[in-house]
Amino acid sequence: MSLRIVVCVKYVPDATGDRHFADDLTLDREDVDGLLSELDEYAVEQALQIADAADDAEVTVLTVGPEDAKDALRKALSMGADRAVHVEDDDLHGSDVIGTSLVLAKAVEETGYDLVISGMASTDGTMGVVPALLAERLGVPQVTLLSQVSVEGGVVRGRRDGDSASEELEASLPAVVSVTDQSGEARYPSFKGIMAAKKKPVKSLDLDDLGIDADEVGLAGSWTAVDSAAERPARTAGTIVKDEGEGGKQLAGFLAGQKFI
Amino acid sequence: MAEVLVYVDHVDGAVRKPTLELLTLARRIGEPVAVALGNGAADTAAALAEHGAVRVLTADAPEFADYLVVPKVDALQAAYDAVSPAAVLLPSSAEAKEIAARLAVRIGSGIITDAVDLEAGDQGPVATQSAFAASFTTKSRVSKGVPVITVKPNSAAVEAAPAAGAVEALTVSFSEQATGTKVLSRTPRESTGRPELTEAAIVVSGGRGVNGAENFAVIEALADSLGAAVGASRAAVDAGWYPHTNQVGQTGKSVSPQLYIASGISGAIQHRAGMQTSKTIVAVNKDSEAPIFDLVDYGVVGDLFDVVPQLTEEINTRKG
Ligand SMILES: Cc1cc2nc3c(=O)[nH]c(=O)nc-3n(C[C@H](O)[C@H](O)[C@H](O)COP(=O)(O)OP(=O)(O)OC[C@H]3O[C@@H](n4cnc5c(N)ncnc54)[C@H](O)[C@@H]3O)c2cc1C
Ligand SMILES: Cc1cc2nc3c(=O)[nH]c(=O)nc-3n(C[C@H](O)[C@H](O)[C@H](O)COP(=O)(O)OP(=O)(O)OC[C@H]3O[C@@H](n4cnc5c(N)ncnc54)[C@H](O)[C@@H]3O)c2cc1C
Kindly state whether B17 is in contact with chain A, defined as any CB-CB distance less than 8 angstroms: no
State the pLDDT confidence band at B23, using cuts at 50, 70 and 90: very high
Q: Cis peptide before A13, with omega less than 30 degrees from 0?
A: no
Check: CB of residue B8 under 8 Å from CB of residue B36. yes
Residues 77-136 of B with CB under 8 A from A: 93-95, 97-98, 100-102, 104-106, 109-114, 126, 130-136
Give me the residues paired with residue B139 across strands: A228, B128
Other beta carbons less than 10 A from residue B4's beta carbon: 28
Interface probe, candidates B17, B73, B98, B245, chain A, greatest A C-beta count within 10 A: B98
Q: Which of A136, A109, A54, A97 is nearest to B181 (CA)?
A: A136
Chain B, nearest residue to A161 by Cα? B245
User: Which run of H or E residues covers position A62?
Assistant: strand A57-64
A199 Cα to chain B: minimum distance (Å): 34
Q: Which atom number of ligand 1 is nearest to the Cα of residue A130?
A: 29
Q: What is the rounded average pLDDT of the residues B184-208?
A: 94
User: In chain B, what residues touch A132 (CB-CB under 8 Å)?
Assistant: 69, 97-98, 101-102
Interface probe, candidates B69, B142, B251, B278, chain A, greatest A C-beta count within 10 A: B251
Q: Which of A29, A111, A18 is nearest to A72 (CA)?
A: A29
For a pLDDT cut of 70, what percent of chain B falls above it? 100
d(CA A177, CA A202): 23
pLDDT value at residue A1? 62
For a pLDDT cut of 90, what percent of chain B falls above it? 97
d(CA A6, CA A76): 12
Q: Which atom number of ligand 2 is nearest to the Cα of residue B265?
A: 25
Q: Mapping DSSP to helix (H, G, I), strand (E, B) and coil, where does residue A257 land?
A: helix
B164 Cα to chain A: minimum distance (Å): 30
State the pLDDT confidence band at B64, using cuts at 50, 70 and 90: very high
d(CA B220, CA B187): 24
Q: Which atom number of ligand 1 is nearest to the Cα of residue B110?
A: 11
Ligand 1 proximity of A41 Cβ (cutoff 6 Å): no
Read off the pLDDT of residues B98-120 as tens digits, 9 standing for 90 and up: 999 999 999 999 999 999 999 99
Read off the pLDDT of residues B239-270 as tens digits, 9 standing for 90 and up: 999 999 999 999 999 999 999 999 999 999 99
Any residues with CB less than 8 A from the CB of B318 and at least 6 apart, and which? A252, A256, A261
d(CA B246, CA B232): 6
Q: Mapping DSSP to helix (H, G, I), strand (E, B) and coil, where does residue A197 land?
A: helix
Write the CA distances from A121 to A39, B55, B170, integer angstroms.
7, 34, 33
User: In chain B, what residues touch A261 (CB-CB under 8 Å)?
Assistant: 226, 315, 318-319
DSSP string, A26-53: SB--SSS-EEE-HHHHHHHHHHHHHHHH
d(CA A142, CA B95): 12
User: In chain A, what residues touch B300 (CB-CB under 8 Å)?
Assistant: 240-243, 247-248, 250-251
Query: Residue by residue, what is the 3-state secondary structure of chain B?
Result: CCEEEEECCEECCEECHHHHHHHHHHHHHCEEEEEEECCCHHHHHHHHHHCCCCEEEEECCHHHHHECCHHHHHHHHHHHHHHCCCEEEEECCHHHHHHHHHHHHHHCCCEEEEEEEEECCCCCCEEEEEECCCCEEEEEEECCCCCEEEECCCCCCCCCCCCCCEEEECCCCCCHHHHCCEEEEEEECCCCCCCCCCCCCEEEEECHHHCCCCCHHHHHHHHHHHCCEEEECHHHHHCCCCCHHHEECCCCECCCCCEEEEECCCCCHHHHCCCCCCCEEEEEECCCCCHHHHCCCEEEECCHHHHHHHHHHHHHHHHC
Q: Do the Cβ atoms of B140 and A165 come within 8 Å?
A: no
A185 Cα to chain B: minimum distance (Å): 11
pLDDT value at residue A30? 79
Other beta carbons less than 10 A from residue A188's beta carbon: 9
Q: What is the rounded average pLDDT of the residues B138-142?
A: 98
Q: Which atom number of ligand 1 is nearest to the Cα of residue A224?
A: 11
Q: Is the pLDDT of residue B1 over 80?
A: no
Check: CB of residue B125 under 8 Å from CB of residue B112. no
Q: What is the ipTM of this complex?
A: 0.97
pLDDT value at residue A31? 80
Per residue of chain A (261 residues), what is the pLDDT tens digit? 699 999 999 999 998 888 888 888 888 877 889 999 999 999 999 999 999 999 899 999 999 999 999 999 999 999 999 999 999 999 999 999 999 999 999 999 999 999 999 999 999 999 999 999 999 999 999 999 999 999 999 999 999 998 889 999 999 999 999 999 999 999 999 999 999 999 999 999 999 999 999 999 999 999 999 999 999 888 888 999 999 999 999 999 999 999 999
Kindly state whether A54 is in contact with chain B, defined as any CB-CB distance less than 8 angstroms: no
pLDDT value at residue B134? 86
Check: CB of residue A111 under 8 Å from CB of residue A60. yes
d(CA A184, CA A120): 13
d(CA A140, CA B87): 27
Query: What burial letters (b/e) apply to B128-165, b meaning 16+ CB within 10 Å?
Result: bbbbbbbbbbbbbbbbbbbbbbbbbbbbbeeeeeebeb
Give me the residues paired with residue B182 across strands: A170, B67
- pTM of the complete model: 0.97
Burial class of residue A237 (count of CB atoms within 10 Å of its CB; 0-12, 13-18, 19+): exposed
